[in-house]
Amino acid sequence: MPDAMISIRNLSKWYGAFQVLTDCSTQIAKGEVVVVCGPSGSGKSTLIKCVNGLEAFQKGEVVVDGISVGGPKTDLPKLRSRVGMVFQHFELFPHMSVIRNLTLAQEKVLHRSPKDANEKGMKLLERVGLAAHSGKFPAQLSGGQQQRVAIARALSMDPIAMLFDEPTSALDPEMINEVLDVMVALAKDGMTMMVVTHEMGFARKVAHRVIFMDQGQIVEDCSKDEFFGKPRSERAQLFLSKILQH
Amino acid sequence: MSYHWNWGILLAQEPGGTGTYLHYLIVGLGWTLATALAAWVIALVLGSFIGTLRTTGNRWIVRLGNGYVELFRNIPLLVQMFLWYFVVPELLPVRLGDAIKQMPPPWGSYVPAVLCLALYTSVRVAEQVKAGIQSLPRGQTFAGTAMGLTQLQAYRYVILPQAFRIILPPLTSEFMNIIKNSSVALTIGLMELTGRARAMQEFSFQVFEAFAAATVIYILTTLVVVLGMRWLERAVRVPGLIAASGAAQAAH
């Protein structure tokens, strides 16, 4: 794949003697939406945190838009500023207003003027339906609203790709859809997305590919239809039967 | 007990001829505040710096910070005061040491007192800053750096503003402590409030009046600090922050 936006090659990572990732390889093309799923502790979150260097790894290579994440001369802050990330617990900055959450990095990292940053921020808040809340503080919003702000915050940097680390796992059930709707719209706009999630409905709707992980290894890496049709590994079949039963 | 009470002594002239005893004590309060405030500024800056360094994860920097903290935390304040006044000038190059010893009063006592209180308090501030930073979810650093902030920027804009809000109440106690601890400087000859209360007692033999007045002045001063810090806490309060972090902890 010559136009790979994210390329992971033979990635291995250890916490001390414990190996969390074993020889993981995959590629994500520009505009592709890839869902990463698997049982807890399988290394999904660790894998996507390696993509923007939030987690260091000991072996293998991660290349984002032609730049090696683990390279000794890589400007990690610059690389990270081009890759948006959304966290399970939102991680909005609680001491800043919603709009300030969106403008801080625009001003400090991209050196946009406060006026430009503000305009961009308000545009994105409108896009996620929260422009009316721009002056509030994160703790005054519901979980679903906070996560939508977090997505808008990541988008404010004009990222070339977006990483989602279980974006709906910390939400009350009735708030999951408002977040998924934003993500679906983003996927349809052609954003390159790597999404760790158990929301199989989302995967069916917009994913191009599904990666299934177990015990630090990529067990399945196939198209959505293949995955939901008949996953090859027993482990993935078992996983699907467990989460799709109800 | 046959004690001759005489509250009027406060308005009597002190033998030095500078004014009343009350005025004499108030000037002492001035020196107490000048000592405590200068030391507090240094302690805050130094303590924040060292407390922050101790959370960076760099093994050697953390060890260095820990060593600094243990050094100044494990020696009694009075001993440190004597070390700064009697010992440190002897350890310095002769000319510098002599220059320090020849500083005219009150500076010869004031400077060592400020340094002593500043370093003694800085390690306590450092401990609190470290605890404040470590009480924040690790995801906050992730979120900051994931957007391209450098580690320094993440501390400056994301971590420290939250940590300082959390540790404002214990910092209030430290601020009050440094005012009260400055009384130890009387042992190296600084005529601050306690030193002057003692002098007043020696001149006038009105021990109860002298120390009652000093006590009231100390209480009023620390009361002002408490009220000021409460105002500061309200001024920087973030809507819902404490409640939200509690809820986030529960959700984890």
> 10-residue block means of pLDDT along chain A (246 residues)?
83 93 95 93 94 94 93 92 96 96 96 96 95 95 96 96 95 92 94 94 92 94 88 83 72
Question: With an 8 Å Cβ cutoff, are A93 and B245 in contact?
Answer: no
Within 13 A of B85's CA, how many CA atoms are on the CB side? 22
Question: What residues of A are in contact with residue B163 (Cβ under 8 Å)?
Answer: none
Q: Is the pLDDT reported for residue B250 higher than 60?
A: no
What residues 96-115 of chain A have any CB closer than 8 A to a CB of chain B? 104-105, 108-110
User: In order of start, what are the domains of chain B with their CATH numbers?
Assistant: 9-251 (1.10.3720.10)
Q: How distant is the Cα of A217 from the closest Cα of chain B, in angstroms?
A: 24
More confident residue, A234 or B164: B164
What is the pLDDT, as a whole number, of residue A245? 62
Nearest chain A residue to B163 by CA distance is A95
Name the residue type at position B72. Answer: F
Round to whole Å and give the CA distance between A130 and A148.
8
What pLDDT does B242 receive?
A: 60
**C-alpha dist (Å) from residue A17 to A10, A89, A93, B58:** 18, 28, 34, 21
Q: Are strands A18-29 and A4-15 parallel, antiparallel or unpaired?
A: antiparallel
* pLDDT for res A244: 73
**How confident is the model over A220-231, as pLDDT tens digits?**
999 989 888 876
Interface test mutation site (partner A, options B147, B158, B245, max chain A beta carbons within 10 A) = B147
Q: Which residue of A has its CA nearest to B246?
A: A139
User: How many angstroms away from the CA of A22 is the closest CA of chain B?
Assistant: 23
The band of B144, judged by pLDDT with boundaries at 50, 70 and 90, is very high
Contact B238/A at CB under 8 A: yes
pTM beyond 0.80? yes
Listed in sequence order, the residues at least 6 apart from B45 whose beta carbon sits closer than 8 Å to its beta carbon are: none
pLDDT score, position A70? 87
Distances (CA, A) of A235 to A239, A241, B247: 6, 10, 36
| Minimal-distance CA residue of chain A relative to B249 | A89
Q: Given this model, what pLDDT does residue B252 score?
A: 40
Return the percent helix, strand and coil in chain A, to nearest 5.
40, 25, 35
CA B229 to chain centre: 14
Which residues from B are below 8 Å from A140, CB to CB?
239-240
Q: A52, A83, A91, A96: which to substitute to probe chain B, counting the most B Cβ within 10 Å?
A: A91
Contact status of A164 with chain B (Cβ, < 8 Å) = no
Q: A62 at the B interface (CB within 8 A)?
A: no
At residue B105, what is the residue type? P
Q: What is the mean pLDDT of chain B?
A: 91
pLDDT of A246: 55
- What pLDDT does residue A59 have? 94
**What is the spatial distance between Cα B119 and Cα B109, in angstroms, rounded to a whole number?**
16
Per-residue model confidence (pLDDT) at position B32: 97
Model confidence over A163-221: pLDDT tens digits? 999 999 999 988 999 999 999 999 999 999 999 999 999 999 899 999 999 999 999 99
Q: Which residues of B touch A105 (CB under 8 A)?
A: 147-149
pLDDT at residue B248 greater than cutoff 50:
no
Of B165, B240, B248, the CB nearest to A89: B248
Stretch B71-75: mean pLDDT: 94
CA distance B108 to chain A (A): 44
For residues A222 and A226, what is the distance between their CA atoms, to the nearest angstrom?
A: 6
